[in-house]
Amino acid sequence: MEKIITLNNDGSLNVPDTPVIPYISGDGTGQDIWNAARLVLDAAVEKTYEGKKKIIFLEVLAGKTAFEKTGEWLPKETLETIKKHRVAIKGPLTTPVGEGMRSLNVAIRQELDLFACIRPVRYIKGVPSPCNDPQAINMTIFRENTEDLYKGIEWEAGTPEAKEAISFIREKSGQDLDENFTGIGIKPISIKNTKRLVKKAIQFAVDNKRPNVTLMHKGNIMKFTEGAFLKWGLEVGDEFSEIITEQELWDKFDGRVPEGKIILKSRIADNMFQQVLLRPEEYDVIACPNLNGDYISDLLAAMVGGLGLAPGANVGSECAVFEATHGTAPKYAGLDKVNPGSVILSGAMMLDHMGWQPAAELIRSAIQKAILNKRVTYDLARQIPGAIELKCSGFAEEICACMD
Ligand code: NAP
């Protein structure tokens, strides 16, 4: 019988054997990817639990399909259903550039208060990488998911709102901005959202015995937003007995990490980009404001095979929505071509989150085998000499075959 996942008093999940999980298939390539991902998720659960457990997937609408069927891009019912079921999975949704509605993805994250975007980046053997030592790449990004860029406070150049903001800025700061030809964007970063994000990142490092957490910021230039992120992040570090800062490491321990301690590092964002490329082994968990997290996610994804293999989770205290890092890749829509690996791996993260780790592990090892067999989608095939290019659906079938 179908059942609903519930939340225990301590925040952990109570997962029945046949949980209902809402899904949004997504725009563009979303439908192809979702069909492929569902095949793999169902097969992994079936093979692992031999019929004793099964996910009952429930479609909820968002994006183009929702608009065509209901006249709304993000029906209230979709958010209510996700809230009620606690765990959901989604494909990518289109956001127009420079005009039109604000992002539905952002709306979902904000409405459900999914404050942490968690993106693990790990090298899979056999995947082409532009780095010399890709095996060293094993990082988990914690990107703040509700403010900074995502607040979307902007006024177009020449509008009364932009002019009013410019007049306020002129009065308060003396900055002389051209009031007719200057667009205005505001970047809010708060103590509450910073602290809960950094706390989650550090707790993850503690729970998983990871050696360090880096606060990635641009606090040298934006002192009261990105600089405050660093200050408040360090304050969170003080609350954990496991944490020592890099400064303390040298001042008190002569650079030798004491048993059981986790190093809290701080890096300015531009420096961080070159450091993760040149010395990936020195970075482990990364906590950052929204925009920095957006950029570094795609860079790190490229270091381990590209967006086709980059999973993610948007997690709050009440529910979690699992989704790929990439977008709708519209030029490939309907071609059954793109790599479904990112949504499949996001599904594996979802199974971990539900406590169904053996099924998640089966998926990860089957993807590893398919890649070593060199039977992959176009994005990997064009980089792996001698590879056979499979369609999106074909790659999913290959992964299922590799579960035997
Ligand atoms: P994108 O959809 O991520 O695609 C950029 C490029 O990444 C593609 O052209 C392709 O590279 C590669 N790629 C993406 N997904 C892939 C996959 N599954 N397998 C293999 N390669 C893949 O980024 P975009 O073109 O900038 O954005 C398109 C739309 O998606 C926009 O409306 C954007 O707002 C939206 N978006 C949505 C989400 C979300 O729903 N969470 C996230 C990001 C963007 P090649 O051209 O080299 O083959």
Q: Is 327 in the pocket of ligand 1 (CB under 6 A)?
A: yes
What's the number of CA atoms in the CB half-sphere (13 Å) around residue 194? Answer: 24
**What is the reported pLDDT for 306?**
87
Q: Is 92 in the pocket of ligand 1 (CB under 6 A)?
A: yes
CA proximity to 363, closest of 26, 38, 87: 38
**What is the reported pLDDT for 235?**
98
Q: Is 308 in the pocket of ligand 1 (CB under 6 A)?
A: yes
Residue 294 is among the residues annotated as catalytic for this protein: yes
Residue range 382-400, pLDDT digits in tens: 999 999 999 999 999 999 9
**What is the reported pLDDT for 99?**
67
**Exposed e or buried b for every residue in 121-130, given b needs 16+ CB within 10 A?**
bbbbebbbbe
Separation of alpha carbons 105 and 344, rounded Å: 19
**What is the reported pLDDT for 230?**
98
What is the chain's alpha carbon radius of gyration, rounded to the nearest angstrom? Answer: 22
Residue ranges, the chain, pLDDT below 50? none
Can you give the pTM of this predicted structure?
0.94
Residue 218 is among the residues annotated as catalytic for this protein: yes
Q: CA-CA distances (angstroms) from residue 175 to 49, 50, 223, 225?
A: 64, 67, 17, 19
Q: Whose CA is nearest to atom 47 of ligand 1?
A: 379
Q: Is 311 in the pocket of ligand 1 (CB under 6 A)?
A: no
Residue range 228-284, pLDDT digits in tens: 999 999 999 999 999 999 999 999 999 999 999 999 999 999 999 999 999 999 999
Residue 150 is among the residues annotated as catalytic for this protein: yes
DSSP state of 317: S
Separation of alpha carbons 321 and 23, rounded Å: 9
Separation of alpha carbons 230 and 375, rounded Å: 44
Give the Cβ contact number of residue 355 at 10 Å: 12
